[in-house]
């Protein structure tokens, strides 16, 4: 689902027994620290979406369904990809 909007982004399962299992969505390669990494995790309250960008961790929102979260995440990634693309190309 993410690859349609941003084919260079990857999705990884982060499963450490002592921690909450999460899904991490990040740009590849993620050498640019200004590029966001999104973290998805679940509790009884719903599906949570957090963001890590420039060493700043933010809780973005909580969703009742994973499909709502994915729809919102796709829009965030599409905006990020659009901002990274040049607005116009000048030919000389």
Residue 88, in any domain of the structure: no
Instruction: Give the residue, 3 or 9, on which the prediction is more confident.
Output: 9
Does the pLDDT value for residue 83 go beyond 80?
A: no
Residue 64, in any domain of the structure: yes
Does the pLDDT value for residue 39 go beyond 80?
A: yes
Report the pLDDT value the prediction gives residue 51, as an integer from 0 to 100.
93
20-35 burial code (b ≥16 CB/10 A, e <16): eebbbbbbeeeeeeeb
Residue 60, in any domain of the structure: yes
Instruction: Give the residue, 19 or 85, on which the prediction is more confident.
Output: 19
Q: Which residue range forms the structural domain that includes residue 54?
A: 2-83
- How many domains is the chain partitioned into structurally? 1
- The answer to whether the beta carbons of residues 5 and 81 sit under 8 Å apart is yes
* Per-residue model confidence as pLDDT tens digits over 12-26: 888 888 778 898 998
Residue 18, in any domain of the structure: yes
Residue 13, in any domain of the structure: yes
Residue 91, in any domain of the structure: no
Q: Above pLDDT 70, what percent of the chain?
A: 73
């Amino acid at each position: 689902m993410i690859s349609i909007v941003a084919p260079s982004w990857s999705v990884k399962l982060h499963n450490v027994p002592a921690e909450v299992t999460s899904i991490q969505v990040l740009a590849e390669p993620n050498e640019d620290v200004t590029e966001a990494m999104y973290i998805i995790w679940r509790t009884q309250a719903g599906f949570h979406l957090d963001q890590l960008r420039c060493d700043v961790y933010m809780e973005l929102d909580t969703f009742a369904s994973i499909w709502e979260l994915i729809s919102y995440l796709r829009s965030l990634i599409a905006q990020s990809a659009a901002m990274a693309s040049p607005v116009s190309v000048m030919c000389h």
